[in-house]
Structures are given as structure tokens and as C-alpha cells.
Structure 1
Amino acid sequence: MKKTVHYFCFGVDDHTKQNLYYFPSAQPKIQYIIDTLKNNEYMVNMVSSCSIKNNGFFKSKIYKVDNNEKHVFFSSFKTPLKVLNKISIFMTFVQFIFYMLFCVKKNDIVLIYHSLYYIRPMELLKKLKKVRYILEVEELYSFLDDNTEVFMDQEIEFINYGSAYLLVNDLIDEKISRREKKAVISYGNYSVPPKISCRNFEYHDYINVVYAGVIENRRKAAFIAIESAKHLNEKYCIHILGFGEKSDIINLKKRINEINKELSEERIIFHGTKSGDEYSCFLQSCDVALSTHSYDKKDLPAADYSFPSKIITYMANGLKVVSSDVRSVRYSKIGRNITFYEKNTPEDIAKSIESLEYVSQVDSREKINELDKQFKKNLKNLIDEF
């Protein structure tokens, strides 16, 4: 009989993504985990803790995807009053505990996507039932954000209580007390899309450089990427794909226009967001991709407790990657496949881009396929022995 894995996370599907608040960047990894579990012949119940996006009430829903996959969504509501919204959070805690008590059977597997959200309900649940779970650690939040630093001790305690781990990089072991508990590592979504011919791509006369990801001022990734255009020769064109706050996108577009005027030609282009085949098609039409998050000395150690998953997406689409020199990437299994720049300046980024050998036949897809096969094997062994 197939084992059932209850995957507690912040996933959405086509039925719910219009109504629930979620992080687009987290969805590919969540779906990849689900697909990997099904590939290993487990039944998967994705139990989502996403809450309603706008004012109103969202009624709990259950969708059967196929014979091996089911999606469960908790009820939530939102009002203009913050006090009432706290009641909604408590209501989702109760639903989580109820599900764990009455829907998770003795031999079922519990996989929890690590979030500060789960700390409180798990503290309550532990008083009612002994729970063993695999914890998927994508980030250590209290190390990444000053606003969550007060939760550091609670977060570490919650992580240490896990019975086994799915870790996002090779360095998190340095911070958690894993002892003899087993762990497997996945840097991101290892799904390799098919090669797609992009007929409408208009920039074949250039060496095309792309940044794809969040646009925000704190770590300035997209902003420093466009500044590098001033230090590249006329053979290069920089493309920005991404999402973010409206004010940040307005500022980015303004700066792009200013730089293009300085260069007397359009060498930086903002394309907005793309997804699915359109996204893969665009990436595969480019030559090199950028991971240019900027860390000051205070924030740099925090980069050890996450992984820029965009690098995996870039490599899965056959791109060469230029990245800031963060330990989580350099000491990963793909570190040798990345071109790092030392100084976090537009000049140094441009030098690294120009140093690449563009006629190389090395296909980064092969490395991602290798990681995919190994991860599927390791995850199956972890669950079978759990």
C-alpha cells in the first residue's frame, strides 16, 4: 500500500491562486517536491496555509487532482480591522491542529515547509500529540530580516525539533543541531524544461544578458544589473524580467531610460513578468544570466541560510550564470559551474560577463539533470526509512 505524505506548505493551484495570498517564487519548488513525491509513488495531500488575499471570506476547499494528489485549503477571512484578522490567523491554527490530529494516520508522513507561521500551532500540537515530521528548510528567516530577529531562539528550537530535514543548501547544518537526524539537499526546482525555439525574439544580433526575479531596493539585484550595462560594449543587451512593488518598478524603469539615453541606444529592456513556456522560451534565447543580490557586511552571513533558486532555473534553461560570491552557492555542488564576481560593483559584474567563453559547448542542463536524479533517490530513501 502506498504511503501518504501530508505536505504542509503555502501552495496554490489554478482553483485558488486568484483568491489567496501567496509568493510566486515559492511555487515552482513546491510543485517540484509534489511531483518528486508522486514520481516516487507516494500519495500526496498538499495542505495549504495560504490565507485570503482581499477583504472577504474564503471557505475551506478540497480538490482531487488525480488518484495520487489532493489539495486542501483552510478557511480564512480578511477585514479592514487588524484585531479581527488576528482571529482569522488563530482560526487557521485551529484547522491545522485539527487536521494533524484527525487526518494524519499512524504510518503517514508529515512534511512541513518551514515558516515562522507554524511555530505557534506546533507548540500547541506537541502538548496534545507526539509528532514526527520532516522539515523543509528553505530559509532561516530570523537571520535574514531584522524584523524577525526576535524569533531567532524560537525558530532554531522549532527547526531542531524536526525528525529529518530537506535543506536548501549545504551550510545550514552549521546552524542547526541535526545530530544523527537524516537530511537531503535540494537547491531549487530541478525540472529541466524542453528546448524551445523562440521565434519572436528580436535581439539575436546581441549577446543577451538576463536578470529574472524580484525587483526591490533592499538587495538591489535588478538595479545593480542595469548599471553594469554602462561598462559593457555595444555587443551586449541586458533584459530584466521580474515582479515587485509598484514604486520599485517605476524607479527601475526610470533608471533604465536614463542609462539608455546615456548610451544613446536601447541596451536595457524591461519585459515585465513571464511564466510557463513563454518564460522558458525567453531564457533559452539569452546567453548569460545574472544573480546579483547585493549584501553588505552585516547581511552577508545571512546569505548562508538561503539559496538563490533563480540560479537553478537559469541552468535548467542552459544559461551561463554570473553571481555574487556567496558561500551557499560557492560551496554547493554547482559552484564550479558559476562565474563569481568579487567586488559588488557594476564594473566587476561587467568584467565577469565579458570573461565568459560564449562558444563553449558545456550544457548546464546536464548538471541539473544529475542533481534531479540524485535528489529523487535521496528523498525516497529518506521517506522509506522514516
Structure 2
Amino acid sequence: MLKQNKIKYIGYYYSPELGQPKRLYSPAAATKMDYVASTLVQNDYDVEILSLCKPEKEGIVFNKKTHHHNGYTINLIASLGTGNKLRNVLDYFLGNLILFLILIFKTKKNEMVFVYHSLGYGKTITLAKQIRKFKLVLEVEEIYQDAVTCSTRQRKQEKNNIMAADAYIFPTYILNSELNTSNKPSIVIHGTYSIQKNDSESACTDGFINVVYAGTFDIKKGGVYAAIKTAQYLPEIYKIHILGFGSDEEVKSVESLIKQVNDSSSSKVFFHGLITGKDFTDFLFSCSIGLSTQEPNAKYNETSFPSKVLTYMAHGLQVVSVRIKAVEGSDIGGYIHFYDSNRLELIAETIKNIDLQKITDTRDVISDLDIKTIKKMSNFISSVTQ
């Protein structure tokens, strides 16, 4: 079996630290890729991320250099840029062609290639694997057909892409049981187990209990709206802070709802928009409770893991979450404050029942998971290369 100390890791990855031109990316996906890459680095692997992110603005972009970031290298694949429909189609084929050629000419038989599951390049990966016979380690964060509308062809292709893998990284034990029916090598990593250090004077001293929702404003998921409306059932000692991202229409909808709630509630809601980097870290350290409010009956809840839960815990926050199997049956399920339905009164009651004087430091829980995961990754890689 091939021995290697280099691993290619494919995904839609970007970091603002990489500079201009900026690329479109999912912060949650990039954060998870950062963590997986860090566990590989700590196991003495040289990681190269191949990213297919498109530029934020129109225009052709070529990768003129290899970036060095967080202990690994990043190559941003050339792009024709976003714009009209024709350019988007051509860019899709260009990115996949470049990726295919890299895999064909720069991988070897039995070499491990890590891939963040995506419909955007899944077929290309599968075809290259059939030719070069590399070991495909597929990181499946969710089943896309559970979260978005997919055609019959896309559903079939997604299933084929997943089944083609030699090993898996899953965010939940449920997803492992559902997809890994052949009992291939696998590892469950719920999210990012990197604790944050409080280097600022961000602890709240204003006498209020600060509660935060940080995440998507997607109306289909509904979590932000439940978080805002919960203020109607909380006393004025609580403040709810809304951080996150969405379309212009979704942002306006969130701001409008906040105004309505503040006009009639003792507890007040504050809108902060998208905050990143150190500002985001400092802000979370000024809060005590994090909300993981979302639609409890949505199909994606059965398999995906809400990354915000671990983000809150990494900053020492207590987490209030709807009771879903993926979280309850996880390695951190015993440290979460669950509610059982989206009744606003029940969410508020769960928040009020948290005794902030008698709590576990959630950063200790995350730190312990980090140590265990680095060791598990070593064992996982050994099982893949056997």
C-alpha cells in the first residue's frame, strides 16, 4: 500500500486572510475544512487544499500563487468569474476540467484524496477515481436532496457519488448508520473542536443576560425568526442579539420583525448583521447563552449537525437547542439544554431555567473532544490505507 505524507483536500474553500480578489464561499464549510485539515497537520500530513470557489465580482481570475495558511497550502483554481448564464456554465466546466486534470496527472494509485461532498464536482471526482484508483475519503456534511430541491438525475448522481467513496467523514452517527451500509472506514466529527481564548475584556457587566443567535436568516429554516419572537416571553433582564447572514430581502425581513417585537416586548432584540474574525469571537464572549433554534421537523435535521452549537460551546456559552436526534445522540448531547417544540413559551422557559451560577465550562468539553479526534484521525487514516 502507498505510503504518503501529502493529502489533497478538495472543496469550496476560502478565507478573507487570503486577500484579493475575494471568492464566494460558505463560512461554515470553510471552518469545518479548516478543522479537518488541522487534524491532518497534527498527524504530520502535508495538506494541500484545492478550492473551486468563484470570485465575488465579475472577471477572470487565475491562481498566480500558492497560499500558505494555518499550516497547510491552498491553491485557488482558475475561474472565468460570475456573471451571465453562459459565463457561469463555461466557468463550471473550466473548474471541473482543471480539477479532473490535476487528479489524473498528480495523484497515484491508492493515494488518499479528501473531498468535501458537493454536487458541483462530485461526478468529476468519481470519474477521476475510476481512472486513477486513488482512495476517496468523502466528507459528507449533509445529504443535499434533504435540504434543497433536486431533480431525479441529481438525486441519483448524489447517491452514486457517495457510494463511490472508500471512506467517510460524517457530522453525525445517524448519517454514518444511514449511508455507510457497507461498513467502510469512517470517523464522526460533529464540527470544529477548537476552543477560543478570551483575550479581551468582553465579559458582559451591564447587568443583563445576553442571549445570541448566530447563523442563517434563511426563512425555510426559520431559526432566526423563532429566536427573535422568543423575546416576547422573556423578562427585560434578557437581551437577544441577532448575528448572521442572508439575502437582502431576508435581512430586511429580520430587521422588520425585530422592530415589531421591540415595540411590544420587555426583553429587547438587537440586530448586528454579519460579524467575523476577532470581532465575532469577542462578541460571543460577551454573551452567556447561544440559541440553536430551527424547524424541528425539517428532514435535514435527521442527518446534519448545526455547527453553531459547537461554535457557542467553543466560546463557553450554554446552548439552547430544539431536541433533534443528531444533537441529542452526539458526543455533546449531555451538555445541551433542549426544548421539545417550537412553542415560543417553551423556548423562553428553557432559557430562564439555565442557572448560570451552576454550569459546566463548555470549552473544557470541546477541548477534550479535540484531543480525542486528533487520535481518532490517526486511526482512521491507518484503516483507510490498509
User: Which band: TM-score by shorter chain?
Assistant: over 0.9
Q: Distance in 1 between matches of 2:21 and 2:65?
A: 16
The structure 1 residue matched to 2:370, chosen from 369, 372, 379, is 372
Secondary structure at the residue paired with 2:207? coil
Q: Distance in 2 between matches of 1:131 and 1:107?
A: 4
Aligned residue in 2 for 1:92: 95
Amino acid at match of 2:282: C
The structure 1 residue matched to 2:199, chosen from 193, 196, 206, is 196
Q: Distance in 1 between matches of 2:355 and 2:267?
A: 24
The yes-or-no answer on 1:55 pairing with 2:58 is: yes
CA 1:12/1:107 → structure 2, altered by over 3 Å: closer, same or farther? same
- 8 Å CA contact 2:24, 2:55 repeated in 1: yes
The yes-or-no answer on 1:312 pairing with 2:310 is: yes
The yes-or-no answer on 1:284 pairing with 2:246 is: no
CA 1:202/1:67 → structure 2, altered by over 3 Å: closer, same or farther? closer
Q: How does 1:103-114 map to 2 (within 5 A)?
A: 103-106=106-109, 108-114=111-117
Amino acid at match of 2:139: E
Aligned residue in 2 for 1:160: 163
CA 1:75/1:102 → structure 2, altered by over 3 Å: closer, same or farther? same
Same amino acid, percent of matched pairs:
31
Q: Distance in 2 between matches of 1:71 and 1:113?
A: 15
CA 1:197/1:123 → structure 2, altered by over 3 Å: closer, same or farther? closer
Long gaps (5+) in structure 2: none
Q: Distance in 2 between matches of 1:235 and 1:51?
A: 45
Aligned residue in 1 for 2:294: 293
- 8 Å CA contact 1:52, 1:58 repeated in 2: yes
Q: Distance in 1 between matches of 2:286 and 2:326?
A: 28
Deviations 1:207-232 (A, max 9, x none): 11111111121111111101011101
Which ranges of 4 or more aligned residues in structure 1 deviate by more than 4 Å? Answer: none
Aligned residue in 1 for 2:270: 269
The yes-or-no answer on 1:81 pairing with 2:84 is: yes
Secondary structure at the residue paired with 2:197? coil
- 8 Å CA contact 2:194, 2:370 repeated in 1: yes
Shift of 1:329: 0.4
- 8 Å CA contact 1:3, 1:109 repeated in 2: no
Length-normalised TM-score, structure 1: 0.92
Length-normalised TM-score, structure 2: 0.92
Q: How does 1:111-260 map to 2 (within 5 A)?
A: 111-147=114-150, 150-199=153-202, 204-260=206-262
| Higher mean displacement: 303-312 or 61-70 | 61-70
Amino acid at match of 1:246: D
Secondary structure at the residue paired with 1:56? coil
CA 1:256/1:203 → structure 2, altered by over 3 Å: closer, same or farther? farther
- 8 Å CA contact 1:61, 1:74 repeated in 2: no
Aligned residue in 2 for 1:4: 6
The yes-or-no answer on 1:24 pairing with 2:27 is: yes
Number of matched pairs? 381
Secondary structure at the residue paired with 1:146? coil
CA 1:172/1:61 → structure 2, altered by over 3 Å: closer, same or farther? farther
CA 1:376/1:361 → structure 2, altered by over 3 Å: closer, same or farther? same
Secondary structure at the residue paired with 2:357? coil
Q: Distance in 2 between matches of 1:337 and 1:266?
A: 26
CA 1:150/1:108 → structure 2, altered by over 3 Å: closer, same or farther? closer
Secondary structure at the residue paired with 1:181? coil
Q: Distance in 1 between matches of 2:272 and 2:259?
A: 13
Deviations 1:320-377 (A, max 9, x none): 1110111100111111111111121211110111111111141111111111111111
Q: Distance in 2 between matches of 1:149 and 1:54?
A: 32
Shift of 1:183: 0.6
- 8 Å CA contact 2:238, 2:267 repeated in 1: no
Q: Distance in 2 between matches of 1:190 and 1:68?
A: 17
CA 1:150/1:304 → structure 2, altered by over 3 Å: closer, same or farther? farther
Q: Distance in 2 between matches of 1:148 and 1:339?
A: 38
- 8 Å CA contact 1:229, 1:238 repeated in 2: yes
Q: Distance in 1 between matches of 2:11 and 2:218?
A: 25
Shift of 1:187: 0.8
Q: Distance in 1 between matches of 2:87 and 2:70?
A: 38
CA 1:157/1:79 → structure 2, altered by over 3 Å: closer, same or farther? closer
- 8 Å CA contact 1:166, 1:186 repeated in 2: yes
Q: Distance in 2 between matches of 1:197 and 1:55?
A: 38
Amino acid at match of 1:337: Y
| Higher mean displacement: 225-234 or 153-162 | 153-162
Q: Distance in 1 between matches of 2:221 and 2:48?
A: 35
Shift of 1:134: 0.6
Q: Distance in 1 between matches of 2:211 and 2:158?
A: 38
Q: Distance in 1 between matches of 2:283 and 2:19?
A: 27
| Higher mean displacement: 188-197 or 90-99 | 188-197
CA 1:206/1:188 → structure 2, altered by over 3 Å: closer, same or farther? same
Deviations 1:5-62 (A, max 9, x none): 1001111133356432111222211111222211111101111111223221011343
Shift of 1:2: 6.1
Q: Distance in 2 between matches of 1:234 and 1:196?
A: 29
Long gaps (5+) in structure 1: none
Shift of 1:179: 1.9
